[in-house]
């Protein structure tokens, strides 16, 4: 066939669509996490910074202390002072902020709680924690962020250690409400929806393009096919004649012998049947992926027979096969009676010597003329 390329076979389009969709989906999934991380960082960075500064403030307040825990426990005024300051950090995003210590039994207990009165924990009140990160804080000695998946009203908890002489003495705990995360999730959902919409738009566009392409191909095929013989028609010849590489083909022009007599004797219906069967024989004889059979007009046909090299014998074997298959085929004009049709063939064995297809065709047509004039039912090679 003359048309070669990525769009020749429809499944190539499906592969391209699949690659595009997979790529976009992976980008959405990948960037969703990146965007979430960035927005979260922007939304919480200041608050985390304030929490770290507050832990430094606590250290500063307790700079003369030898035991942070005991001094806070013993000094009510100090506790009230810390609580007053800690309360100022409560915002719409920070739900709770409090100061804990861990006793000798590894139980966390309250020292200072910035929560409103009705939610405030008592001094030394036990606080149950389930996440191991709370304990990791004592070895890491660095702030730790805990993301909650099971708690209904908290999104994250930020633990800031207050270190004294290399040991974590206190833990400043900041619980973030779900509002921050909810807002971040809303933004991400919006971005994700936009990307999904874009993806759907691309998919729909590809689907429409694919449908149009199939329709176009179907129409093109229809406009290039002779309905009676299923061979290519003259439109197709016009389409390819300037593009075809003449050095790759041998050109054969075929004419059904005495076709007018068949039409006159048996009628146009039988004439059409002969043409149809003739087309079937050609299609079954040529190499369908390499050779091109065209109904040139009436009972005249052109066959481009592919050759691998200029001296290849294969095209002539194909021509011989066409000639004998037509000759040996019984064309039934009714259930009992049949006729044998013969064909005259003119061959241009060296089309590459011609400047263009029309000249090459003339050589083959001239050979056909010679075959007709020398008694028909012949192959004439020029």
Partner 1 sequence: MKILIFLFTVFALSYGNQYVFLVNKYDKEIELEAKIISKIAMASLNESAKIFIPNISKQEQKVYSKYLNLAQDCESANFVYNKNGSIETSCQNINKLFFTNNYRRLISNERYYGAFFWNKSRPNIVFIKKRLKKNSIVLSDEYAPYIEELDGL
210-220: b or e for each residue (b if 16 or more CB lie within 10 Å)? eeeeeeeeeee
Residue 166 tokens, joined = 């290399």
Size of the site for partner 1 (CB under 8 A): 28
Does residue 218 touch partner 1 according to CB under 8 A? no
Least Å from the CB of residue 62 to partner 1: 21
Instruction: Out of 52, 59, 192, 220, point to the residue binding partner 1 (CB under 8 A).
Output: 192
Residue 175 or 365 with smaller CB distance to partner 1: 175
Interactions with partner 1, residue window 55-114 (CB under 8 A):
95-96, 98, 107
Angle between helices 259-266 and 268-285 (to 10 degrees): 140
Residue 175 or 291 with smaller CB distance to partner 1: 175
Considering only CA atoms, which of 278, 381, 374 is closest in space to residue 326?
Answer: 278
Q: Is 311 helix (H, G, I), strand (E, B) or coil?
A: coil
Q: What is the dihedral of CA 33, 37, 42, 46, to 10 degrees?
A: 160
Least Å from the CB of residue 194 to partner 1: 11
Least Å from the CB of residue 215 to partner 1: 16
Does residue 151 touch partner 1 according to CB under 8 A? yes
Does residue 152 touch partner 1 according to CB under 8 A? yes
Least Å from the CB of residue 361 to partner 1: 48
Does residue 153 touch partner 1 according to CB under 8 A? yes
Interactions with partner 1, residue window 118-147 (CB under 8 A):
119, 121-122, 124-130
Q: What is the dihedral of CA 368, 369, 374, 375, to 10 degrees?
A: 80
Contact assessment for residue 173 and residue 100, using Cβ atoms and an 8 Å cutoff = yes
> Which range of residues in 82-90, 189-197, 330-338, 364-372 is near partner 1 by CB under 8 A?
189-197
Considering only CA atoms, which of 285, 268, 374 is closest in space to residue 327?
Answer: 285
One-character DSSP codes across 260-302: HHHHHHH-HHHHHHHHHHHHHHHHHHS-TTT-EEEEEETTEEE
DSSP E strands, the chain? 94-102, 108-113, 126-127, 144-147, 154-164, 167-177, 249-256, 292-297, 300-306, 330-332, 338-340, 343-348, 379-381
> Which range of residues in 75-83, 159-167, 193-201, 311-319 is near partner 1 by CB under 8 A?
193-201
> Which range of residues in 151-159, 311-319, 328-336, 362-370 is near partner 1 by CB under 8 A?
151-159
Q: How far apart are CA 360 and CA 347, in angstroms?
A: 10
Residue pointed to by tokens 């959405």:
28
Residue pointed to by tokens 């002539």:
316
Q: How far apart are CA 28 and CA 199, in angstroms?
A: 10
Least Å from the CB of residue 15 to partner 1: 20
Does residue 193 touch partner 1 according to CB under 8 A? yes
Residue 96 or 224 with smaller CB distance to partner 1: 96
Residue 230 tokens, joined = 């299923």
Least Å from the CB of residue 209 to partner 1: 13
Does residue 176 touch partner 1 according to CB under 8 A? no
Residue 196 or 214 with smaller CB distance to partner 1: 196
Does residue 207 touch partner 1 according to CB under 8 A? yes
Does residue 115 touch partner 1 according to CB under 8 A? yes
Least Å from the CB of residue 96 to partner 1: 5
Does residue 180 touch partner 1 according to CB under 8 A? no
Q: Is 219 helix (H, G, I), strand (E, B) or coil?
A: helix
Q: How far apart are CA 180 and CA 156, in angstroms?
A: 10
Instruction: Out of 7, 15, 196, 310, point to the residue binding partner 1 (CB under 8 A).
Output: 196
Interactions with partner 1, residue window 311-370 (CB under 8 A):
none
Does residue 210 touch partner 1 according to CB under 8 A? no
User: Looking at 299, 300, 352, 359, which residue is catalytic?
Assistant: 299
Q: Is 299 tagged catalytic?
A: yes
Q: Catalytic positions, please?
A: 299
Q: Which residues in this chain contact partner 1 in the complex, by CB under 8 A?
A: 95-96, 98, 107, 115, 119, 121-122, 124-130, 151-154, 173, 175, 192-193, 196, 200, 203-204, 207
């Amino acid at each position: 066939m003359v048309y070669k390329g990525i769009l020749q076979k429809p499944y190539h389009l499906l592969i391209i669509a699949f690659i595009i969709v997979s790529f976009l989906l992976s980008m959405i999934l990948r960037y969703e996490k990146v965007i979430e991380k960035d927005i979260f960082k922007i939304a919480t960075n200041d608050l985390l910074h304030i929490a770290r500064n507050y832990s430094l403030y606590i250290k500063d307040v307790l700079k003369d202390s030898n035991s942070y825990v005991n001094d806070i426990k013993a000094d009510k005024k100090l506790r009230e002072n810390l609580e007053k300051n800690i309360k100022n950090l409560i915002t719409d995003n920070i739900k709770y902020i409090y100061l804990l210590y861990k006793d000798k039994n590894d139980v966390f207990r309250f020292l200072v709680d910035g929560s409103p009165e009705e939610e405030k924990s008592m001094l030394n009140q036990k606080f149950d924690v389930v996440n191991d990160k709370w304990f990791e804080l004592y070895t890491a000695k660095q702030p730790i962020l805990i993301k909650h998946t099971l708690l209904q009203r908290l999104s994250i908890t930020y633990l800031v250690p207050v270190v004294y002489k290399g040991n974590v003495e206190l833990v400043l705990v900041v619980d973030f409400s779900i509002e921050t995360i909810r807002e971040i999730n809303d933004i991400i959902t919006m971005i994700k929806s936009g990307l999904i919409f874009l993806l759907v738009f691309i998919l729909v566009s590809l689907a429409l393009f694919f449908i149009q392409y199939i329709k176009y191909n179907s129409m093109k095929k229809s406009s290039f096919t002779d309905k009676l013989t299923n061979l290519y028609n003259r439109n197709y010849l016009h389409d390819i004649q300037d593009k075809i590489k003449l050095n790759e083909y041998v050109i054969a022009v075929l004419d059904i012998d005495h076709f007018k007599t068949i039409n006159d004797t048996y009628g146009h219906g039988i004439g059409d049947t002969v043409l149809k069967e003739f087309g079937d024989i050609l299609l079954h004889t040529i190499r369908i992926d390499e050779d091109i059979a065209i109904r040139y007009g009436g009972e005249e046909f052109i066959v481009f027979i592919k050759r691998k090299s200029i001296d290849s014998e294969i095209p002539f074997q194909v021509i011989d096969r066409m000639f004998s298959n037509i000759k040996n085929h019984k064309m039934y004009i009714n259930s009992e009676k049949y006729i044998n049709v013969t064909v005259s063939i003119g061959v241009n064995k060296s089309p590459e010597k011609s400047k263009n297809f029309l000249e090459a065709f003339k050589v083959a047509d001239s050979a056909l003329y010679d075959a007709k004039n020398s008694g028909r039912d012949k192959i004439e090679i020029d």
